[in-house]
Chains A and B, each alone.
Chain A
Amino acid sequence: DAGVIQSPRHEVTEMGQEVTLRCKPISGHDYLFWYRQTMMRGLELLIYFNNNVPIDDSGMPEDRFSAKMPNASFSTLKIQPSEPRDSAVYFCASSDGLAGTTDTQYFGPGTRLTVL
């Protein structure tokens, strides 16, 4: 089975531009998570979805960040406008969340974003 798929793997953009990161979770997984990894703050949860519905977005840093999950096999994380401090690796993860327990989250390869 394919794992979590993320695109693009690398993104370089200029400050002020819109950036869209994409994620395809593992088929059959009901939960999807977006994380950000930086040297200063480590791995941080930004937002997560259950059955395509956003459950907790308390980790989203500010209004410039938005995430959507239009269907069970696709999610986007958008930054508009982007700023240099948004440079980081963004990970998507999914889990099947069976029986209301904390199941294992499987991570995609990440998108390395550089904002100049």
Chain B
Amino acid sequence: DAGVTQSPTHLIKTRGQQVTLRCSPKSGHDTVSWYQQALGQGPQFIFQYYEEEERQRGNFPDRFSGHQFPNYSSELNVNALLLGDSALYLCASSLWMGGGYNEQFFGPGTRLTVL
């Protein structure tokens, strides 16, 4: 049973550039959430996708956008990169459930460094 996969593992970009991160959820899961984790902090929720629609969004600017494909995989796009966007980007996979009782499983993450 394949777990959550993310690519690439590491990425180095310069300020102003754009980046695309990819995620494939765990087999049987239909919901993908994205989180940003800065050094020494807990993960911060960016947004969540289900049925190819953004269902919930955290406090992140419009530079952060996403997409979910029919096979449930997802992309996170960040435009006009800033130094402060340097972080570990985590994808979490889950089943869509009402009431908030969903266990989310994380992928290995993508380490983004902005120079």
The finding on whether chains A and B are genuine partners in a shared complex, rather than unrelated, reads no
